[in-house]
């Protein structure tokens, strides 16, 4: 390989690809060829660099210049000015009100981050085994296989304090120990890459951005527990992750890092990729095992746990992608180093996926115990569009919503649980003051109703009942007592369901009732949605003082319920309005407003109807 003058790292993680990164890459090849300098520049496709919302992003070495939101039209300018004349393009750099951040390391987004699981993600070419090895890859596996017994390897993990990153936070060494101790002719190791939580994409990013790391972590685990075969279970929605892992397996095999007697030790190992077909519940470990076996992915009661009777009835360890991603570093840098980060009970770092109304949506890795405020405002850059922070949903459908008063809570397993949220897999959904919490709770409930496998009735029926109540409330048919009914049902479903889906599905509803009860009450009692999200509980109104009588709204109204004239101005006949919002969209002077609360006329009409048909609701 000849030495090149410039390394151009283009993020080709799924986020940037969805924003057009591949087109940019093609364009670079074209322009460099045209200029005849393609032999001077190394183009490297990397995994996710983190700030996905700014995609497509790229970093150019030796200086480490960071460019964001690059378009194919920008490519010639970058080549001409930066690569040929040595003048980086200011326009494409990240800046805030005062400063321009030329180098990636100076970008505020990266300041509080500590990268362990993401160490290589966005820095190396995920399809190159050489690059992985150049960063110290497979060193840990070599050390473990040649200098440690399986028990010693487990002890190192124990000392590090590593806990499962898939949601529950179960101590990793304890799980390994159980399978290590189990007597069986065959044992299995499974990597859980199902990642169905809405708002979560850390596992996808690591699988895509640093596949060898996961493979290495898995092999160390396999050695520790005595498994000779492993399975990657990756959801079919992640075709690139599947491709990258398959590729990594082939490379490792060709290199002799996998297969018979790895590193000349007695350890032999083989791995396969299995895919899902669109079922959230398959992330639950017993369901996942059934799915690998080619069946419906229904969870089964525990015990027996997979550690005693897992895949094809054999002792099995199921670990999350990020859990494995931490393992190699622990062996290279030491258990003490790992344990020095984080809090008393939650060691190390955690990868979070920031989404929603936050400025820097994307992938971040921070030490455990960091406060929500630091995570959302320092790393995440705060709320986008000058709005106010309202709530944050942590842990996907099994988690809960926290609010302003929790901003100083440290993010670790126990602190979050104590407040009705959960670490979960690390999805952080940030919401501004324009979000209606009742409606958001309904959305999570909808997700869980869709994804319930239907095996047990509390989950199948109870969640649907909760959904129906929420649906009634947002449509203005809430009844006094609904809140208590939601709480009663939620507690019953949590207590009686078989698997974690049903046990945790009521959390978003229960936590929003806990912290935003007034919003539920306003919906039910006053028929009002203060955020004006729930269409039934708001109405459109034309402000006569602002209206210039242009008639645009009347012409755009699909049901012709706006009348008036230039002199009289325009009025909405509320009873016919279907709340399509067209009038508001077209009004040139913004005279059409959304007003919280059901219009009095509509309320009267409803009450009359109710009196006539008292049994219908």
Partner 1 sequence: MYKEICKKYSPDKDNLIYILHDIQDTHPQHYISEEAVEVIAEYLGVPANHIYGVITFYSMYSTSPRGRNIIRLCESPPCYIKGSENILRKMKIMLGVETGGTSKDGLFTLELCACLGVCGNAPVMMVNNDVYGDLTEDKVEEIVEKIRRGN
Ligand X SMILES: Cc1cc2nc3c(=O)[nH]c(=O)nc-3n(C[C@H](O)[C@H](O)[C@H](O)COP(=O)(O)O)c2cc1C
What does the buried/exposed string (b/e) look like for 524-561 if buried means 16 or more CB atoms within 10 Å of the residue's CB? beebbbbbbbbbbbbbbbbeeeebeebebbbeebeeeb
Handedness of CA 142, 146, 147, 151 (dihedral sign): positive
Contact status, residue 332 vs residue 22, Cβ threshold 8 Å: no
Q: What is the dihedral of CA 270, 275, 276, 278, to 10 degrees?
A: 150
- Choice from 236, 559, 589, 595 touching ligand SF4 (CB under 6 A): 559
Side-chain-facing half-sphere of 140: CA atoms under 13 Å: 30
Which CB sits closer to ligand FES, 13 or 348? 13
- Of ligand X, partner 1, ligand SF4, none, which one sits near residue 572, judging by CB under 5 to 8 A according to partner kind? ligand SF4
Q: Which stretch binds ligand SF4 (CB under 6 A): 304-312, 318-326, 526-534, 580-588?
A: 580-588
* 275 near partner 1, rule: CB under 8 A: yes
Please report how close the Cβ of residue 280 comes to partner 1 at its closest, in angstroms.
6
Contact status, residue 375 vs residue 408, Cβ threshold 8 Å: no
Between CA 494 and CA 330 the distance in angstroms is 36
Per DSSP, the residues of 25-54 read HHHHHHHHHHHT-TTTEEEEEES--S-GGG
CB atoms within 10 A of CB 266: 9
- Choice from 15, 211, 217, 381 touching ligand FES (CB under 6 A): 15
Which CB sits closer to ligand FES, 140 or 440? 440
Which CB sits closer to ligand SF4, 412 or 541? 541
- Choice from 283, 315, 367, 410 touching ligand X (CB under 6 A): 283
- Choice from 157, 416, 429, 459 touching partner 1 (CB under 8 A): 429
- Choice from 166, 362, 369, 502 touching partner 1 (CB under 8 A): 362
* 583 near ligand SF4, rule: CB under 6 A: yes
Between CA 564 and CA 567 the distance in angstroms is 8
- Choice from 127, 195, 322, 519 touching partner 1 (CB under 8 A): 195
Query: What is the chain's length?
Result: 617
| φ, ψ of residue 423 in degrees (nearest 5) | -65, -40
* 57 near ligand FES, rule: CB under 6 A: yes
Per DSSP, the residues of 149-161 read -HHHHHHHHHHHT
Closest residue by Cα to residue 590 from 548, 561, 558: 548
* 27 near ligand SF4, rule: CB under 6 A: no
Query: Going by C-beta distance under 8 Å and a sequence separation of 6 or more, which residues neighbour residue 36?
Result: none
Site map 413..432 versus ligand X, x via CB under 6 A: ------------x-------
Site map 367..406 versus ligand SF4, x via CB under 6 A: ----------------------------------------
Q: How would you class 518 by CB atoms within 10 Å of its CB: exposed for 0-12, middle for 13-18, buried for 19 or more?
A: exposed
Binding site for ligand X (CB under 6 A): 164-168, 170, 192, 194-196, 281, 283-285, 318-320, 323, 425, 499-501
Binding site for partner 1 (CB under 8 A): 14-15, 17-19, 52-53, 55, 195-201, 204, 236-239, 274-280, 291-298, 353-357, 361-363, 393, 427, 429, 431, 435, 440, 443-444, 447, 450-451, 453
Binding site for ligand SF4 (CB under 6 A): 281, 299, 452-456, 459-460, 497-499, 501-502, 540, 556-557, 559, 561-562, 572, 577-583
Binding site for ligand FES (CB under 6 A): 11, 13-16, 48-52, 55, 57, 198-199, 362-363
């Amino acid at each position: 390989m000849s030495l090149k003058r410039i390394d151009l790292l283009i993020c080709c993680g799924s986020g940037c690809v969805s924003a057009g990164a591949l087109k940019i890459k093609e364009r670079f090849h074209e322009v460099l060829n045209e200029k005849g300098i393609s032999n001077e520049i190394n183009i490297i496709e990397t995994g996710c660099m983190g700030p996905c919302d700014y995609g497509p992003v790229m970093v150019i070495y030796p200086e480490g210049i960071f460019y964001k939101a690059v378009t194919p039209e920008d490519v010639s300018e970058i080549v001409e000015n930066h690569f040929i004349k040595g003048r980086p393009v200011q326009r494409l750099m990240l800046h805030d009100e005062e400063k321009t951040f030329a180098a990636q390391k100076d970008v505020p987004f990266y300041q509080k981050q500590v990268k362990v699981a993401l160490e290589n993600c966005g820095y190396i070419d995920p399809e190159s085994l050489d690059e992985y090895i150049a960063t110290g890859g497979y060193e840990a596996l070599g050390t473990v296989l040649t200098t440690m017994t399986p028990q010693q390897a487990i002890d190192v993990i124990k000392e590090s304090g590593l806990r499962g990153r898939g949601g529950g936070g179960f101590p990793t060494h304890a799980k390994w120990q159980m399978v290590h101790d189990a007597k069986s002719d065959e044992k299995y190791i499974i990597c859980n890459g199902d990642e169905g939580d809405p708002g979560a994409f850390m596992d996808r990013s690591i699988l895509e951005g640093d596949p060898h790391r996961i493979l290495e972590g898995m092999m160390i685990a396999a050695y520790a527990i005595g498994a000779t075969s492993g399975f990657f279970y990756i959801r079919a929605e992640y075709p690139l992750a599947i491709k990258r892992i398959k590729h990594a397996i082939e490379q490792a095999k060709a290199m002799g890092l996998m297969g018979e007697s790895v590193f000349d030790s007695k350890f032999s190992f083989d791995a396969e990729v299995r895919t899902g077909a669109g079922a959230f519940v398959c992330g639950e470990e017993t369901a996942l095992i059934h799915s690998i076996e080619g069946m419906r992915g229904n969870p089964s009661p525990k015990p027996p746990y997979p550690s005693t009777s897992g895949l094809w009835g054999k002792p099995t360890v199921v670990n999350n992608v990020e859990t494995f991603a931490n393992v190699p570093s622990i062996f290279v840098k030491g258990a003490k180093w790992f344990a020095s980060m984080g809090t008393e009970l939650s060691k190390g770092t955690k990868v979070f996926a920031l989404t929603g109304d936050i400025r820097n949506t994307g992938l971040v890795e921070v030490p455990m115990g960091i406060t929500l405020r630091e995570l959302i405002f320092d790393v995440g850059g705060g709320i986008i569009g000058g709005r106010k922070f309202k709530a944050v949903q942590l842990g996907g459908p099994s988690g809960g919503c926290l609010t302003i008063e929790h901003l100083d809570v440290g993010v670790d397993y126990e602190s979050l649980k104590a407040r009705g949220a959960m670490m979960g897999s690390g999805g952080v959904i940030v919401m501004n003051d324009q979000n209606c919490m009742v409606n958001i709770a309904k959305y999570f409930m909808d997700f869980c109703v869709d994804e319930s496998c239907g095996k047990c009735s509390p989950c199948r029926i109870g969640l649907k009942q909760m959904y129906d109540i929420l649906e009634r409330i947002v449509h203005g048919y809430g009844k006094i007592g609904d809140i208590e009914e939601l709480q009663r049902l939620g507690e019953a479903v949590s207590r009686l369901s078989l698997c974690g889906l049903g046990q945790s599905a009521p959390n978003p509803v229960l936590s929003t009732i806990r912290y935003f009860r007034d919003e539920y009450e306003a919906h039910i009692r006053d028929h009002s949605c203060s955020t004006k999200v729930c269409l039934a509980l708001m109405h459109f109104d034309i402000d006569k003082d602002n209206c210039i009588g242009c008639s645009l709204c009347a012409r755009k109204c699909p049901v012709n319920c706006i009348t008036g004239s230039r002199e009289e101005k325009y009025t909405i006949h509320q009873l016919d309005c279907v709340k399509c919002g067209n009038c508001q969209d077209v009004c040139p002077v913004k005279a059409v407003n959304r007003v919280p609360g059901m219009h009095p006329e509509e309320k009267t009409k409803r009450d009359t109807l109710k009196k006539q048909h008292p049994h219908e609701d």
